Structure formats: C-alpha cells, structure tokens
C-alpha cells in the first residue's frame, strides 16, 4: 500500500518575540512590597516568572507577549496595581487584509505546526466581505466517518497540474487511441510563489524552496532569477517566462516539468510552439485579473490551446487590478469556472489562483469558487516571522533579520504552516463529507453564501433589504 501523504512538522520557536496583543501594566509604585498574596507568584501561566531578567539586558519584559487575558492579576492584586492595554505595536502590524490576528495565527502555526484551537465560541463579526461572506456546509449523518481523518480515513488533497484529454478512445485491442501526456500532480493544492516585495535574500528563497521540496509542492519564480544556488531545486521551481524571452530559457526548461508564461494577446502560437519543443512540459499561463481584460472569455479561449493550467492573479488582498470598484477573487473565479464549464473545457484544464489567500480557510473557499489550487506568497514570509512592517520597502533594517535566516529553520517554519493549513483543510473536508480535495472544485453546493441565506431566511420575514449587501 502506498504511503499516505502527511506533512511532518516539528516545533520551531520564534527567534524574536512575536508582537503580542496585550501589554500588562503594573503601577509598581503602589505595590505593597511584602504582600504574601502576590498575584505574580500565583499567575497560572507563569508569565511573571523571571520577569526581572530583561532589565539587565535592556530588553522588553517577556510578559508583554504572553498574557493570556485571564484578568486574575488585575482582579486579585491586593493593591489593584495591574491593568492592561492593547499593545500599540500590535495595532500597527499588518493591514486591513492581513490583520494582526491573521499574522499572529500564522506565526503560531509556523511555530507549532498545530491547528489554532481555542475555547469559547466564535468571537468575530457576523459576516463580512470576500471570503467572510461564505460558510462551508457539513453533513449531519450520512457521510463517511470523520474520525481518523489524519490516518485511517484518508482524505486525498492532491491536485493535477497537467491537462486531461477530453475523452479517452481505445483501439479494438484495448490500447489507447489518443495521446495522453504524463500526469503531473502535487500532493497539496497549495503552491508557492516568490513574493514581489520583502527581504528576499538567497537564504529566504532557499528556505521557501526547501519547504516546497520537502512537502512536494512547487514554487513559481522568474526564470531570470534562477541562479546556480537555486538550480539544484530542479522541478520544484516553476520558471516564469514571457513571450519575448522564452527562447532564452530552452536549457532551463529541459530540466523543468512545468513553466509559466505571462498572458498577452496572441500567446496561443507561443504555447503551441512551446509544447512542440517540450512535449512533456506542463504549461501554465499567468493571467492577471484586470478589469481591462475579459478574463472569463480569455480563460475559455486559452482552454482550447495547449495550456494545461490557467494561473489567475488578483492583488495581495484578492482584488481585481485596474478597477475603481475592484471585485473579489471569489466572484471572479466563479465567473471563470462557470464560463469554462459552459464551454465544456473545465475538466481538461486546471485553475490556480493567486491573491487573497491568507488563511487555511481561504484555500478551501477558493477551491469551492472554482480553482483547483491556490498560490501563496505573503504567508511564506509571515511564517518566517515577517511582520509586514514595510521597513524593507523603505530601505530600513528588518526587525526579525530575515535576510540572514537559517534555511533549515525557515523551511521548518514554512513546513509547519503548511502542515497546519493542510490539517485544517482536512477538518473542513471531513465535515463536508468529502474524501478528496478535487471533489471540492467548484462545489458551491457545499457552501452557504451570506446573500443567499439573508434572502432565503430573512426575505420572507423582513421583505426587501434596504441596505445592499457588500460581499465582494
């Protein structure tokens, strides 16, 4: 029996204190001094232990980052000298999409390789925009058992990147009558991409590639940037080329099993030529989701060429390019997927989606909207303790010294993050009663949408909405 795919994680504690949410304030001048009831000694989480050591090193006290919000020190101190505030640095990290919470959870997963688990119920907004306007379904009774999804009840997360023939035909003797290209598949519907900003030293890139290699996925990067240090990663790298420079990389492509070429009008002939020159090379076309392009129609046209995979790009936050009122990737993907289904070519090609995937839940939701897999970049940096502080863009030093990261450590953190993401994917797939990530593709029937639920459940009671829903 073939070995079941699993991502082996091992803890990789942070090298720098993660930016914690709460800062404990102590009005020490009011301390009783000799109090036998000192709450610091009684802290359940021991966060005050050794809390004086930072002073000699002129560091920040550790308990800035480790408070678990139980409020006991605040409520039990005999002199009431404790209070708390939200750490101002916490408010500043990230942006509207990569919120401090998303960044903190990513760090946690990269550290532990574990799924974030907590007590008490959900604590966020009722619903929101983008991916927060959809829920996934679950099966109550009639479904395969979920227990043991990490072992006995195997859920397959592999996807294909190569093209599938429209149909199979056979000769009278049973042999295949159609040419079938080799199948290229990866065990996880998540691929990497070199980020377009950040500290991108060789060590950082090697960390990403090592992680990709270890878990069996691939990483997109410009063919121009593949140097001698990175070349040994071979087929883990998907070189990105353009129509005008593709001829320069013939040698590189011979050692690759997949290539990506930027979309531009008239690309079809280049794809044919590329396929003719590299019979077994899987070809992806990178298509920006720009309001200036009719991406659904372009996708359909490309699906009738030699392209194997359509790789669509939204911006970091999953938004459409070149638009005053940009759409979100989930809606754009649904359009592309539906157009391909109508054209009858969806099953022959694959769709990869970049942009807006910042958490594990976004992987499944992107796939439900019609992608086969997702491509991520920022979460890779976050896994390596990046704070998205943008100091590197301004030419300032990196607060976590990313440029000198040990690739063993960096890749360990990324592998941990991917392990945690995959396990979360399995939890959701298990709850939906699906045993294969491929079955989830375009499966909107296993999802629930904010606008639909409002209409179905509240429409008969409250009538027509007067405040339009912004779910894009």
As measured in angstroms, the least distance from the Cβ of 413 to other proteins is: 20
* CA-angle at 47, arms to 44 and 50, nearest 5°: 125
Going by their DSSP bridges, the two strands 282-288 and 134-136 should be labelled as unpaired
Nearest to 303, CA basis, from 273, 257, 335, 271? 271
Stretch that binds other proteins, among 70-78, 158-166, 241-249, 375-383 (CB under 8 A): 70-78
Among 236, 358, 411, 424, binds other proteins (CB under 8 A): 424
DSSP string, 362-387: HHHHHHHTT-SEEEESHHHHHHTT--
Q: Which of residues 346-405 bind other proteins (CB under 8 A)?
A: 359-361, 365
Residue 27 interacts with other proteins (CB under 8 A)? no
φ, ψ dihedrals at 25, nearest 5°: -110, 135
With contacts defined by CB under 8 A, how many residues of the chain interact with other proteins? 75
Residue 435 interacts with other proteins (CB under 8 A)? no
Spatial contact of 309 and 185, defined as CB atoms under 8 Å apart: no
Residue 6 interacts with other proteins (CB under 8 A)? no
Collect all residues with Cβ–Cβ distance below 8 Å to 84 and sequence separation of at least 6: 22, 23, 24, 25, 67, 69, 71, 74
Nearest to 209, CA basis, from 179, 225, 184, 232? 232
Q: What tokens were used for 45?
A: 């989480």
Residue 13 interacts with other proteins (CB under 8 A)? no
Residue 116 interacts with other proteins (CB under 8 A)? yes
Stretch that binds other proteins, among 165-173, 349-357, 403-411, 446-454 (CB under 8 A): 446-454
Residue 451 interacts with other proteins (CB under 8 A)? no
Among 16, 60, 83, 178, binds other proteins (CB under 8 A): 83
Residue 31 interacts with other proteins (CB under 8 A)? no
d(CA 192, CA 145): 32
Cβ nearer to other proteins, comparing 343 with 448: 448
DSSP string, 236-273: GEEEEE-TTTGGGGHHHHHT-SEEEEE--TTHHHHHHH
As measured in angstroms, the least distance from the Cβ of 71 to other proteins is: 5
As measured in angstroms, the least distance from the Cβ of 431 to other proteins is: 2
Q: Which of residues 145-204 bind other proteins (CB under 8 A)?
A: 145-147
Residue 17 interacts with other proteins (CB under 8 A)? no
d(CA 264, CA 285): 9
Spatial contact of 370 and 441, defined as CB atoms under 8 Å apart: yes
Residue 30 interacts with other proteins (CB under 8 A)? no
Q: Which of residues 128-147 bind other proteins (CB under 8 A)?
A: 135-143, 145-147
Residue 428 interacts with other proteins (CB under 8 A)? yes
Among 15, 225, 457, 470, binds other proteins (CB under 8 A): 457
As measured in angstroms, the least distance from the Cβ of 69 to other proteins is: 4
């Amino acid at each position: 029996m073939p070995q079941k795919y699993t991502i082996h994680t091992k803890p990789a504690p942070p090298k720098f204190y993660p930016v914690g949410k709460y800062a404990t304030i102590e009005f020490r001048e009011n301390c009783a001094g000799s109090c036998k009831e000192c709450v610091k000694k009684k802290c359940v989480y021991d966060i005050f232990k050794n809390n004086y050591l930072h002073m000699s090193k002129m560091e920040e006290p550790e308990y800035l980052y480790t408070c678990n919000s139980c409020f006991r020190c605040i409520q039990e101190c005999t002199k009431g000298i404790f209070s708390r505030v939200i750490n101002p640095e916490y408010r500043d990290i990230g942006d509207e999409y990569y919120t401090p919470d998303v960044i903190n959870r990513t760090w946690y997963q990269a550290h532990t390789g574990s799924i974030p688990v907590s007590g008490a119920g959900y604590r966020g907004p009722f619903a929101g925009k983008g991916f927060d306007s959809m829920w996934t379904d679950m099966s109550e009774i009639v479904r395969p058992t979920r227990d043991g999804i990490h072992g006995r009840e195997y859920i397959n997360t592999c996807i294909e990147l190569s093209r599938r023939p429209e149909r199979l035909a056979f000769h009278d003797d049973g042999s295949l009558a159609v040419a079938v290209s080799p199948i290229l598949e990866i065990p996880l519907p998540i691929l990497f991409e070199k980020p377009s900003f950040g500290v991108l030293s060789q060590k950082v890139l090697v960390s990403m590639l090592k992680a990709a290699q270890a878990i069996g996925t691939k990483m997109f990067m410009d063919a121009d940037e593949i140097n001698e240090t990175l070349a040994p990663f071979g087929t883990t790298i998907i070189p990105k080329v353009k129509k005008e420079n593709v001829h320069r990389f013939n040698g590189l492509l011979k050692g690759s099993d997949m290539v990506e070429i930027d979309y531009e009008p008239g690309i079809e002939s280049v794809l044919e030529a590329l396929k003719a020159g590299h019979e077994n090379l899987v070809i992806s076309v990178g298509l920006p989701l720009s309001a200036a392009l009719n991406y659904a129609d372009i996708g359909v046209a490309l699906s009738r060429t030699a392209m194997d995979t359509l790789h669509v790009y939204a911006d970091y936050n999953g938004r459409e390019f070149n638009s005053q009122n940009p759409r979100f990737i989930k809606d754009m993907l649904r359009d592309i997927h539906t157009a391909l289904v109508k054209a009858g070519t969806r099953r022959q090609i694959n769709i990869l989606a970049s942009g807006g995937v910042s958490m594990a839940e976004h992987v499944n939701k992107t796939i439900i909207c019609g992608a086969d897999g997702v491509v991520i970049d920022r979460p890779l940096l976050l896994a390596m303790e990046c704070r998205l502080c943008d100091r590197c863009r301004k030419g300032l030093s990196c607060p976590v010294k990313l440029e000198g990261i040990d690739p063993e450590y960096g890749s360990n953190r990324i592998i941990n993050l991917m392990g945690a993401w995959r396990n979360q994917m399995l939890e959701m797939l298990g709850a939906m009663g699906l045993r294969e990530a491929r079955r989830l593709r375009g499966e909107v029937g296993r999802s629930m949408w904010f606008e639909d639920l409002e209409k179905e459940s509240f429409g008969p009671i409250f009538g027509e909405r007067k405040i339009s829903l912004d779910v894009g």
